[in-house]
Amino acid sequence: MPDVSACSIWPFAPAADFLDGGQVARAVLSLYGADNELRAIDHLRSRAAELERPSAASDVREARSAAVDAVESTRETSTHPILADYRLDLVISDVRTADRTLELHASTRPERVAVTATAEYALAAARARTLPAATDRLVAALP
């Protein structure tokens, strides 16, 4: 894991604050989350050419389904389920936030909301898919 003692950039700044406050466990979980976020972003970057704007409601539904499937698959196959569940609960929360955004704003700004929700679902799926590698890295770093 990276040295965060003098780090002020996202996503490592919270870990440094936790370490300064003597909250080592929270710092470790914060780094775990940061590692997962960076892996998810890299995953999306590598697929950028494949990503498209949704052209129909079915595209949004497919993106949501892919996110939920990724969460379920990761949950079922995780070798460290307690750690994985900690992050997967956050991913499910992101899916629900996208769902609420669709419910609240689809009638007033359908195209914009469809793009936003599809992106949120894609990020949630990427977080779930990259979580096993982040979990393995964390477990390997523990004493």
64, part of any domain: yes
| pLDDT for residue 48 | 78
1, part of any domain: no
4, part of any domain: no
Query: Among the listed ranges 21-30, 43-52, 61-70, 93-102, which one has the minimum average pLDDT value?
Result: 43-52
Name, in order, each residue with C-beta under 8 angstroms of 61's C-beta and a sequence gap of 6 or more: none
8, part of any domain: no
Name, in order, each residue with C-beta under 8 angstroms of 74's C-beta and a sequence gap of 6 or more: 84, 88, 128, 129, 131, 132
In the numeric block, the tokens 């499910």 are attached to: 92
pTM of the shown model: 0.85
Number of domains into which the chain is organized: 1
34, part of any domain: yes
The distance in angstroms from the start CA to the end CA of the chain is 13
What mean pLDDT is predicted for residues 85-114? 93
**How many Cβ atoms are within 10 Å of 51's Cβ, its own excluded?**
11
On the question of pLDDT at 65 being above 90, the answer is yes
126, part of any domain: yes
Q: Which domain holds residue 21?
A: 13-141
